Amino acid sequence: MRKTRRIGALAAGLAAVLVVAACGNGAAGAAGSGGAAGAESSAASEHAGHEHGSGVIPAAAPLRAGERFVTLKMPQPYEPVAPKGGTDEYRCFLVDPKLTTDAYLTGSQFLPQNTAIVHHAIFFRVDPGQAAKARAVDAADPGEGWTCFGDAGIGGDAGWVAHWAPGANETLLSAGAGYPMPPGSLLVMQVHYNLLATGGKPAGTDQSSIRLRLTDGTRKLAPLDTLKLPAPIELPCTAGESGALCDRKAAIADVTHRFGDDVGSTEDGLVQMCDNGTPTPGTTQHCDRPVRDAGTIYAVAGHMHLLGRSIKIELNPGTAGARTLLDIPQYNFDDQAIHPLATPVAVKPGDKLRVTCTHDAGLRKLLPQLRTLPPRYVVWGDGTSDEMCLGLVIWSPQT
């Protein structure tokens, strides 16, 4: 397949995935209508999106031994503007925890200031050797932050260390494990702003922040990494829909126009590694990734957009030792919390991780955010009206 540098906002680092992933799909025929009227009403409520409750931030859990809180805020309020006639903007902001000694990130709580437009946020660690480059990228883009469809937008390695999506409150990592934060490390706060409600027009400013839980680095913890498990989306229009964007090639061209070649090429890249280059339209797709190194899995999460129905992450499916690490049979966009495992799970080389997602194009006619948009063949894209299928595995590989 042709190389891509990015895989969309919630799958930065696809290039590494492509080297080792072997995927397949479980297509289930043409997209359905969403079931009976009662089920449709329930689904519409579950998939409403951007309904983040009262706005009251729950209290953080008590600090554990060696921990301290550090709160970082966007430098200035920012008013998102969706480019190229779209309804989504991805903006990156550089924040500095001012670390002078080694530390571990052992928990975090994103504090969205304008929940009406904040779709999700990802935090990438910038190692000290990349700090000057990150500052140069920031300085080169006028205004607060910089545009960053796909990943942190600074090139090189920027490790995923935290994220927030609706339904997530404080992330408290397992005792004895954390993301390494060497002195001089910075964080890139990538925020996905969704302006569907205003048709892409400005909808006010945002100045979100994050409360980090940092642990003194003199105490040795298991070093964590975030493993991304993406799968393609090949969701055709329903039988009752028609239009120019119901053609797959036209839909991919539209994603490319809105987000650029890196994001626009993601779907074909996933199909290449997941289905030998031949897209298989259907509601359900899956992707298998072999484990290359021994390690321990501590937590899992799944991410889709408004057409998501269910998501599952499995270890060694179809074998005697198969285990389900995450199973969300009724996906709710506003409930995307990280799920710590009750008991950490050891993995070894040759094991296989699988993510499976089911989407439903029939939800489009039920959701106010999507109801007025033209129907489309849905593929991987960065917009709220596009889709993703992404499993997240928080683990500590043995080195």
pLDDT in tens, 113-164: 998 899 889 899 999 999 999 999 999 998 899 988 767 778 766 788 998 8
pLDDT beyond 80 at 287? yes
Dump pLDDT digits (tens) for 225-243: 989 999 999 999 999 999 9
Torsion angles phi and psi, residue 262, rounded to 5: -60, -45
CB atoms closer than 10 angstroms to residue 191: 27
Instruction: Say whether pLDDT at 46 is over 60.
Output: no
Round to whole Å and give the CA distance between 383 and 381.
6
Lowest-pLDDT choice from 58-62, 102-106, 236-240, 316-320: 58-62
Q: Is the domain covering 67-221 a CATH 3.40.50.1000 domain?
A: no
Give me the pLDDT at residue 333, please: 81
pLDDT digit string, tens, across residues 172-200: 888 899 999 999 999 999 998 988 877 77
Instruction: Specify the pLDDT at position 55.
Output: 55
CB 241 within 8 A of CB 147: no
- H-state helical runs in 10-160: 14-20, 37-46, 131-140
Average pLDDT, the chain: 84
- In this structure, the chain runs to a length of 399
Distance between CA atoms of residues 320 and 298, nearest Å: 22
pLDDT confidence of residue 151: 73
Location of each CATH 2.60.120.310 domain in the chain? 67-221
pTM summary value: 0.80
Query: Could you tell me the pLDDT band of residue 41, with boundaries at 50, 70 and 90?
Result: very low
